Chains A and B, each alone.
Chain A
């Protein structure tokens, strides 16, 4: 396969839509992972439910950060698409 000369963008916006579709699952997965990691630490240290709660809170923050990065990425792509 020969490498293409000029990179082409997907005109349908499917890429942006796909990236935005990642948000709901990320919002769900991060607190869940945080909760289970916290629960593991709680069982280990016998401090239930402190670390589980901390895990959930940190999970939400991590999810927020990831979502912020994704939205910034989509916005930048749209801006670069508009650029001639």
Chain B
């Protein structure tokens, strides 16, 4: 048995553990799911350490120190296992622990089967193979349907209790709440995510309250850290011919740079690319984060979008004051009056301009929030419909739903990109409106900002 086999075992076990934990969280309880995942992690770490001990003592690259360290780590792991046994449901922990062994067994059986004469005889003719698959499907149907009918009382109760609440969405790879796991303040319309699962597992204590309250903030910080990591890894690649990862990141970043410089002109563009570019990439990543199973779009919370819009508002006013001066800023807010009639109209123009400025962050944040929240609701709604249809088909005992929401994932992708673009673009336009006139010659030469004239007199 080679090491590749062990690597494949680990990979398969890891995937099976994630899927198993999701199913356990949906159909049993959150502590059981955490126990299952912890058991699988314990078992996988144990196997890895045993592998290190064996290779450290006997392999061609033997190293007694490595073996000793692995033995010590294994002792530590045993202690961790003892703590886990005391804290988590023991049955779930044991099930998770045995998972890699089940995978090894299944792999061994499949290896034996693939090399056997029976398998060769079946796969020789595609018709014979199809007939066998058909027979197995019919057998599975007659076995599963009576079993699920027996459980359907429980299943129906869950679906009914859930109402419009999202249920399990195995097809999306995600996970959602069942009716009996609802928050105290009413049914949640969104998929359950990692933070809500942890919050429910810690219901009643300070950690649970904190997680529930700062859910969107936690996800926005996670997205920011992930982006930092991506950029850090990409910028470490300083070779003359960069690697694929850096190339991929540059493909994403270059159009952002181009667009901002194109709009603001070569003088101001590069100065504001760090802010506006980060804004676009950050919002795009946050919008798309909701599609990732067990995650949530932080932009589906008005608090996050308003914070972003407020940042833009404050930054735009700061730019205006630094570029125009305080009196110039007031002059701009008064509608940049030049003639006597315009000066006489200042009492009317000033409140209109101030209102327009204040309405900008409200409009920016409400649009982003509304679109992303609506998109998440749509996905959750159709995933729930897929689960409800399983109940109609008397298959509610099965741990997955029809993937009805699949089409809307593409819509979500499009709307995420468009909304991030709109936010960044309008922020750029707001900055452009505040900048002093660059000069019209650039426009004549075809290299300057497209709308230099409007930037000069935005109010007219």
Q: Please report A residues at the B interface, Cβ cutoff 8 Å.
A: 1, 3-4, 7-10, 14-15, 17-19, 21-22, 25-26, 28-30, 32-34, 37, 55, 58-59, 61-63, 65-66, 69-70, 72-73, 76-77, 80, 83
Contacts and interface: CB of A to CB of B under 8 A. Distances in A.
A62 to B, nearest CB: 4
Contacts of A21: 367, 418, 422
Nearest to A21: B422
B47 interface: no
B366 A8 contact: no
B421 interface: yes
B257 interface: yes
Given A34-B355, A62-B356, A8 B429 contact: no
Nearest to B422: A18
Contacts of B433: 69
Contacts of B270: 3
A70 B418 CA distance: 17
Nearest first, the 8 closest Cβ-Cβ pairs linking A and B are: A29-B363, A7-B262, A62-B356, A30-B359, A18-B422, A25-B367, A62-B355, A29-B362
Interface stretch (B28-36, B150-158, B248-256): B248-256
Contact of B258 (A8, A22, A58, A66): A8
Contacts of A8: 255, 258, 262
A83 to B, nearest CB: 8
Contacts of B366: 25, 28-29
B149 interface: no
- Identify the interface centre among B355, B358, B364, B446: most chain A CB within 10 Å of its CB: B355
A28 B425 contact: no
5 contacts: A26-B360, A58-B352, A63-B359, A76-B450, A80-B450
A70 B356 CA distance: 13
Contacts of A25: 363-364, 366-367, 370
Interface in B370-403: 370
A28 B355 contact: no
B262 A9 contact: yes
B143 to A, nearest CB: 51
A32 B454 CA distance: 27
B51 to A, nearest CB: 42
Nearest to A79: B450
Contacts of B454: 69, 72-73, 76
A29 B359 contact: yes
B450 A77 contact: yes
The range of chain B's interface size is 35 or more
Interface of B: 250, 253-255, 257-259, 261-262, 270, 351-353, 355-356, 358-360, 362-364, 366-367, 370, 418, 421-422, 425-426, 429, 433, 446, 450-451, 454, 458-459
A10 B353 contact: no
A26 B429 CA distance: 14
B192 to A, nearest CB: 30
Contacts of A32: 359, 362
A66 B362 CA distance: 14
Nearest to B361: A29
B352 A4 contact: no
A19 B254 contact: no
Contact of B254 (A4, A63, A66): A4
B367 A61 contact: no
B451 to A, nearest CB: 5
Contacts of B262: 7-9
B352 A61 contact: yes
Nearest to A70: B429
Contact of B352 (A3, A28, A62, A73): A62
Contacts of A17: 418
B271 to A, nearest CB: 13
A78 B356 CA distance: 25
Contacts of B426: 19, 22
B359 A73 contact: no
Contacts of A37: 355, 358
Contacts of B421: 14-15, 18
B418 A14 contact: yes
A3 B253 CA distance: 11
A58 to B, nearest CB: 5
